[in-house]
Amino acid sequence: MASLDRLPSSFIDTIIIPVKLLRFIGLEVIDDDKARFKNYCKFIVFFLLSFMFCYGEIFFLIKINELDAGILEIANAISCFFLVMQSLFKLSLMRKKHFIRSVVYEIAELWPDTENQEKKELMEYWLHRNKTACACILKFTIVGLLIYNGISLVIYFILRILDKNPAYMFPFELYYPFEIDSLWKYVAVNLMHTLATTMIYECSYLACDMLLFTLTVNVSMLFCLLQYDLLNINVDRRAQEADESLENLKNVVKRHQKILKLAKDLNEIFSVILLNVLIISSLIITFFGFLTIVIKVKFQQIKYLTATLEVLLAVFYIILPGQILSDTSSGVADAAYQSLWYNSDQRFRKIIVIMIARSQKPCKLRALGYADINFETFYKICGKTWSYMSVVNQMYQNSLQ
């Protein structure tokens, strides 16, 4: 029976946020037997809200001519539609939850429990970075959702207080099968927008990204601790000490092989989702960025700028662990070379040579073989997005002439 209680507490702290976010919409990654009926009810609510939101998005795009939608409204609808589809697609990750559990428990088995003060400090440094990054992205996402969803409602009520008799303003372009002709309907629809987008974006899009980030950074930490053990391994030519050094090195090699397998498993779990993000995120950022540029109303500029930065940061958030994994896995070769292998016997040296050769090829997260997940890929995404934005903006300016 899978349970979080069986994991080291410091490890639980790194993965608890994405686990709780998925649990909020009724999806359990680790604890299958926990509150099944309650989770089922939560998922039904999530499904209904997602269905209503997607229904409104799809029918708005279908009935563009009937609704007399302009270019800006269409751009907003397209970017939001792709973002919602991307968020829901990420939940396909739950098909691999048994695979994810296997990785989680393999990481837990390798989780260090050491009295070495230097090693403890190194581990705490990595854990602090991991938890800080997750906490920051969560807070930024919450603030971004509040701004995007709430700014239209706040402006409407400000104008209403000033007796401007404003038209109803919504954060999203949706088709409604009923007439919004009263204040209570307007407020109810805005609340539905807020609840639906919070559950869709934060509890599916962000939760899956955080799971990728935390697991990958934890594996990177294991690589880093392995480097420490290699650098500090006792080496001696004398018979008894040489045998002991060799045995310690063999244990390090076994741990290295297990960590390499974990990195490979993470790639298999997340590769399809990573490809989806790389392909679609550029389009989403392009349309949100385009709206930020061409719309002259300040509060709408703030809304679309927030959305642009939100998606751009989310892309960087899944690129970062790929770069960290690559750096720490290749660092094993340097650590092996910097060990005192020259004071050892022939057996020890042979194993060191094999480790150096194996670590020359760093572990990578890959988007289904399409691209490596590293900073270079992020630069390419930013470059393509800027090019797309320039083209869309030029087409819009030509249409106004």
Any long-range contacts for 29-34 (C-beta under 8 Å, 24+ apart)?
29/94, 29/97, 29/100, 29/101, 29/104, 29/211, 30/2, 30/3, 30/4, 30/101, 30/104, 31/2, 31/3, 31/4, 32/1, 32/2, 33/1
From the list 128, 104, 86, the residue with the least C-alpha distance to 30 is 104
Each of the 401 residues of the chain gets a pLDDT tens digit; together they read: 456 777 888 898 999 999 999 989 888 888 766 677 888 888 999 999 889 888 888 888 888 888 777 888 888 888 889 988 888 889 888 888 889 999 999 999 999 887 788 888 999 999 999 999 999 999 999 999 998 888 888 888 888 888 777 888 888 888 888 888 888 888 888 888 888 888 898 888 999 999 999 999 999 999 999 998 888 877 766 655 667 777 888 888 899 899 999 999 999 999 989 988 888 888 899 999 998 888 887 888 888 999 999 999 999 999 999 999 999 998 888 888 887 777 777 787 888 888 888 888 888 898 887 888 999 999 999 898 989 888 888 888 887 76
Per-residue confidence (pLDDT) for residue 1, from 0 to 100: 41
For the entire predicted model, the pTM comes to 0.91
Contact 167, 20 (CB under 8 A): no
Match 């409604």 to its residue by tokens.
176
Per-residue confidence (pLDDT) for residue 38, from 0 to 100: 86
Per-residue confidence (pLDDT) for residue 328, from 0 to 100: 92
SS3 366: strand
CA distances (Å), origin 161, targets 154, 158, 166? 11, 5, 10
The vertex-337 CA angle with 331 and 341, nearest 5°, equals 145
